[in-house]
């Protein structure tokens, strides 16, 4: 999902977190975060919830179903 990759990267940069830092916070590998941000992979449902919680946004926002 291109919208997810774009929003994830934007949120990460806004929060000033590196890909490695995000990977550590979410307990996933660095390469997984890289794949998500380059739209080569999509997160599992549990990881999507972790991402949403970390950034304080909804899963719908991450998936492009809401604009806020």
Q: Is the pLDDT of residue 68 over 90?
A: no
Supply the range of the domain harboring residue 48: 2-60
∠ Cα 15 20 23 (to 5°):
85
Q: List Cβ neighbours of 40 (8 Å cut-off, separation of 6 or more).
A: none
Region 20-32: what's the mean pLDDT? 98
Per-residue pLDDT of 52-62, as tens digits, reads 999 999 999 99
Q: Would residue 10 count as lying in a domain?
A: yes
Residue 65 within a domain:
no
68 assigned to some structural domain = no
Contacts of 61 (CB under 8 A, 6+ apart): 7, 52, 67, 68
> What pLDDT does residue 8 have?
98
* Local confidence band at 1 (pLDDT 50, 70, 90 cut-offs): confident
Please state, in angstroms and rounded to a whole number, the distance separating the CA atoms of residues 36 and 39: 5
Answer yes or no: is 18 within a domain.
yes
pTM: 0.94
């Amino acid at each position: 999902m291109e919208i997810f990759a774009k929003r994830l990267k934007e949120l990460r940069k806004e929060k000033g977190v590196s890909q490695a830092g995000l990977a550590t916070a979410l307990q996933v590998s660095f390469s997984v975060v890289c794949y998500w941000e380059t739209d080569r992979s999509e997160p599992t449902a549990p990881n999507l919830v972790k991402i949403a919680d970390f950034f304080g946004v909804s899963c719908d926002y991450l998936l492009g179903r809401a604009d806020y």
